[in-house]
Amino acid sequence: MNPSHRTATGLDREVMWVSLLDSDGQHLPEEIDRFLAAVTCATHQTFLIGNRMNNLAGMPFIRRVVNRYMSSQISRLCGQDIPDTQCGFRMVDRHLAPELLSGGNRFEYETEVLIIASRKGYRIESVPITTVYSDQVSKIHPMRDALRFLKLMWRYRKGQHSHVVAEN
């Protein structure tokens, strides 16, 4: 990782946890308190991820279906139950953060970081958060992104992933 990037992210300081939050407006930053509460209960190397699946009223139907399918497939690959694998509100141990910040591109990034964390022995725990959707046009390209997802899943299932795992 570029040294100036480390400083910008605070990874050169003695922070214990790093929050990752998509900038698409689908998450409420003030809900970070929910993650901080979960951190105090963590007894193992933990990767926290938001879970919007407890309140689906605001989530478009197609997103619900796709998210549930993807979450079931990724959960199987990770060997852990992860109800909302596509949620962009996350909190990770600072030692894992540099590796995650150098992950994949576009929407497969959300998936790849979960696989990396689980293979490094991190417990992935869900934190209930609010579902927020506006009338903005989605940047998801269904066919292209589905193919990218399937390709990523195939690579990891066959052990042919190209991501280099950094040592702690």
Chain segment 81-128, per-residue pLDDT in tens: 999 998 989 999 888 888 776 655 666 777 888 998 998 899 999 999
Distance CA 28, CA 8 (A): 22
Q: What is the reported pLDDT for 153?
A: 80
Query: pTM here?
Result: 0.77
> Are the CB atoms for 52 and 36 separated by under 8 Å?
no
Residues with Cβ within 8 Å of 166's Cβ and at least 6 positions away in sequence, in order, are 98, 99
Please give the CATH topology (third level) of the domain spanning 3-157: Spore Coat Polysaccharide Biosynthesis Protein SpsA; Chain A (3.90.550)
Asked whether residue 147 carries a pLDDT value surpassing 60, the answer given is: yes
Predicted confidence (pLDDT) per residue in 41-94, tens digit: 887 889 999 999 988 877 888 888 888 988 999 999 999 999 999 898 999 988
Rounded CA-CA distance 145/106 in Å is: 9
Ranges 25-34, 68-77, 130-139, 142-151: which has the least confidence: 130-139
In which order are the strands placed within the sheet that holds 123-128?
Answer: 17-21, 89-93, 46-51, 123-128
- Other beta carbons within 10 angstroms of residue 45's beta carbon come to 15
Task: Please state the domain extents for the chain.
Answer: 3-157
